[in-house]
Amino acid sequence: MARIETLMWVEKYRPVELKDLVNQEAIVERLLSMLNSPREMPHLLFSGPPGTGKTTAALCIVRKILGESWRDYTLELNASDERGINIVRDRVKTFSRYVGIGGEAPLRIIILDEADEMTNDAQTALRRIMEESSRICRFILVCNYSSGIIEPIQSRCAIFRFLRLNEEDVVDYLRHICKEEEVDFGDKALSLIYEISGGDLRLAINTLQSSASFGKVNFENVKKTAGISGKSEVGKLVDLALRGEFKQAREKLLELMRVYGMSERDVIKYANEAIFKLDLQNLDEVAESLAKYDYRLIVGAQPDIQLTAMIAELGKIGKESGFITKKKETKR
Amino acid sequence: MWVERYGPKNIKDMVGNEETRISFLNWLKDWKKGSKPAILIGPPGTGKTTLVHLAADELGYNLIELNASDVRTKDKMTQKLGPTLSTHSLFNGKSLIFLDEVDGMYYRQDRGGIEFVQELIDSGRVPLVMAANIEDDKKVIKLIRKSKVFRFRRVVPRLVELYIEDILKKDVAKLSKESIRLIVREAKGDMRAAINTAQSLAGLSTEELSSVVSSRNLAYSLKESFEAFFNADSQEEAYKALIASKVPPRDKVKIAYLSVINSGLKGDTLIKALEKIGEADKIVNMIGTTQEWRLLRYLDRLLAYSLFNTLPKGSVSYSEEDMPWNLKVRMWNEGKVLKDIGGRLSKFLHISSREAVSIFMPYLLVVIGKEKKSLERFIRLLGLGESALKVMVKESERVFLKVR
């Protein structure tokens, strides 16, 4: 365990060159042609589902343009840790103007991950900075949905839409890692990992590595690790809520938010992923309820009030859909 | 803006921090070449900037100010301050350099700015005054060492009250005792905030005001007024009880919420009550973001009427129990440490620190394995200590329970 970067396979096997990116050929080709003259490169906006290589592509570009000392000329920020205007005023503005002036690097690059989490104020402030600093500074904005980025910023960027990875690509990559690491694996197990990950390569690799830590990557070991991430904790929360276990569901909510620091937006995002894995007749009502309270998170002052209200409402919907009896049947 | 119109016009009109004001004035009077610079430290709205401006005025200094809105690189500062510093300057009258918000200077952004300030300090040619909100900031600590420090405290409620009453006496507006109390409570010792709130309340009609601020003078305790609220016999009674509680809007909604949560309600009653409380919470947010205090009148009526119509009389009793004690303990003991761990992890893994903790960490723990030695080594790699290790060991146990 010499270094953290090599301990986890997600980092160890993160491609360092664009050409090694998994199945985003069209994007890679366009990017490579731009990189021929980096100074003329526009700002970039990468959108797409999680685990499709957006951040990796950004890091590859940075390495390519800035070379060995890329860390000195790159600012990497994650908007979901701080969403407000301050992140732009303080860190982005500072960096875009003053870092490394007179140095040898042709450009300074700011990677803004989860940029769609930024508030509108922050994005508006960002827009000015993008213009003012364009002589020496490039932005690479990374997000899940480009619709979460205000129009003026979109129009200042070249937009690249990353595609969800298909089973073949993910399984191939996992197989490659298994061989490198000399781990026993079964094809059925790799397919199951794909199914669990939903095409998210990062999640797939994490699942692969944790299964491998139990000896080999077989069906049983993959199943073992399927329920450990925070996402499945939100799944449990939804399950409790739909079964009308109001008190327990609320305690789960408080645990996730106050102990593990999950944001209210993430809770509702993962809840939304979880409900579509459920076999429910009135899924539309569940989705409607989630949408209602997602909106209320924006316009309300105290998130746990809104999410608690949602939990109560889900209990009613679950009852009407016969969610409880269905659960019992499957258990038998 | 009332803040400008009714702000103090000379030093003796200022309120709070009287000793600090006097000693600062003496510092400036006694200043001679080579004297230490001054640094004023204290929360916003306690009069730092105002004092410097008024003092410069009263002692006939020409004030040259740089604040956070200016770029403060070495070049820019030299450009602006150069003439003052040069001995051959034409206005060789008395100048005072004021660097406001020095805690807002950045090593990177304001390139060379800090060093420039250091030079200024060392040169001691003109009086230099700095101001900052916090003092546990590296740069500020450095400056403090070389300066005479003047500390400002939050203005005590009674003085805030007197000042506001004074403004009102100038015939601007009439506000009731209760309104003034609200202003003072909301300001928390920030005079600027107090004056701003006063201005926003003064814009309301008498009738609006009376629904915003209770005009009744019932000395109910919090518990009593909420019990009266939940046991009211009519909408109007519920409304009055709520107003009598005299709690800030945000807390009002929160207490209603926690009381409902902890009273074991079920089914539609619970859903409806929470939904209405959620509506009230939206209003709280609107007031917070727009400073439109008039919206408060809807808050009380909405809460009172909707909860009266939803909750059977006496079905809810007052509670401020936020979360079960075992979770509370975990939040205190583990929450902060987990945040630290997440912050470190995010740097290596190119993900947010929240995601590092809630999504990624379980996998990491499985990969590291159950052995305490491996966990120890890992924590050391992260550069964290004993408390982080303890939490990781616990988390590791939790994760391995899930995979069994």
d(CA B282, CA B306): 15
Residue B257, Cβ neighbours under 10 Å: how many? Answer: 23
pLDDT score for B207: 58
Percent of chain A surpassing pLDDT 90: 52
Q: Cα separation of A192 and B165, whole Å?
A: 72
- What integer pLDDT is reported at residue B217 of this predicted model? 37
Q: B118: closest CA among B93, B149, B145?
A: B145
Single-letter code of the amino acid located at B374: S
Do A230-331 and A4-161 fall under one CATH topology? Answer: no
Overall pTM > 0.90: no
Segment A9-31, tens digit of pLDDT? 999 999 999 988 988 888 898 89
Residues in chain B within 8 Å Cβ distance of A309: 271, 274-275, 277-278
Tokens of A66: 């800035």
Is the CB of residue A265 less than 8 Å away from at least one CB of chain B? no
Considering only residues B142 and A268, tell me which one the structure prediction assigns the higher pLDDT: A268
pLDDT in tens, A155-172: 888 999 998 999 999 999
Q: Chain B 247-306, CB below 8 Å of chain A: which residues? A: 250, 253-254, 257, 261, 266-268, 270-271, 274-275, 277-278, 281-282, 284-286, 288
Measured CA to CA, the distance from residue B237 to residue B247 in angstroms comes to 17
pLDDT at residue number B297 = 80
Q: Report the C-alpha gap between A242 and A80 in whole angstroms.
A: 28
What are all long-range contacts of A184-189, with beta carbons under 8 Å and residues at least 24 apart? Answer: A184/A215, A184/A216, A184/A217, A184/A218, A185/A212, A185/A216, A185/A217, A185/A218, A186/A216, A186/A217, A186/A218, A186/A219, A188/A219, A189/A217, A189/A218, A189/A219, A189/A221, A189/A222
Contact B370, B400 (CB under 8 A): yes
Query: With bands split at pLDDT 50, 70 and 90, how would you rate the model's confidence at A87?
Result: confident
pLDDT of residue A239: 94
Which stretches in chain B have pLDDT values below 70? 68-72, 83-93, 105-111, 171-172, 205-221
What per-residue confidence (pLDDT) applies to B267? 87
**According to the model, what pLDDT value does residue A251 have?**
95
Alpha carbon distance A154, A126 (integer Å): 12
| For chain A, domain boundaries | 4-161, 167-227, 230-331
- Return the pLDDT at B214: 46
- A 10-39 near B (Cβ less than 8 A): 10-11
CA distance A307 to A292: 10
B276: closest chain A residue by CA:
A309
Residue A309 and residue B366: Cβ atoms within 8 Å? no
> Residue A146 — very low, low, confident or very high, per pLDDT cuts 50/70/90?
confident
Give the closest of A99, A266, A300 to B108, CB-based.
A99
Confidence of residue A332 (pLDDT cuts 50, 70, 90): very low
Topology of domain A4-161 in CATH is Rossmann fold (3.40.50)
**Distance separating alpha carbons of residues B246 and B225, to the nearest angstrom:** 9
Question: Does residue B339 belong to the interface with chain A, where contact is any CB pair within 8 Å?
Answer: yes
Task: Give the tens place of pLDDT for each residue, A226-264.
Answer: 888 888 899 999 999 999 999 999 999 999 999 999 989
Q: DSSP letters of A115-150?
A: GGGS-HHHHHHHHHHHHHTTTTEEEEEEES-GGGS-
Distance from CA of A227 to the nearest CA of B (A): 7
The hierarchical CATH code for the domain A230-331 is 1.20.272.10
Query: Bridge-partner residues for A137, per DSSP?
Result: A108
Counts of helices then strands in chain A (DSSP H, E): 18, 5
Residue A322, pLDDT score: 78
In the prediction, which pLDDT does A328 show? 47
pLDDT in tens, A193-205: 999 898 999 999 9
Tell me: pLDDT of A1 over 90: no
Residue B315: C-alpha distances to residues A309, B128, B232, B318 (Å): 18, 64, 11, 10
pLDDT, position A238? 95
CA distance A276 to chain B (A): 19
Query: Residue A46: pLDDT band by 50, 70, 90 thresholds?
Result: very high
φ, ψ for residue A105 (rounded to 5)?
A: -65, 140
Closest-CA residue of chain B to A299? B282
* CATH no. for A167-227: 1.10.8.60
- The pLDDT value given to residue A118: 87
The 3-state DSSP class for residue B102 equals: helix
> What is the number of helices (H) and of strands (E) in chain B?
21, 5
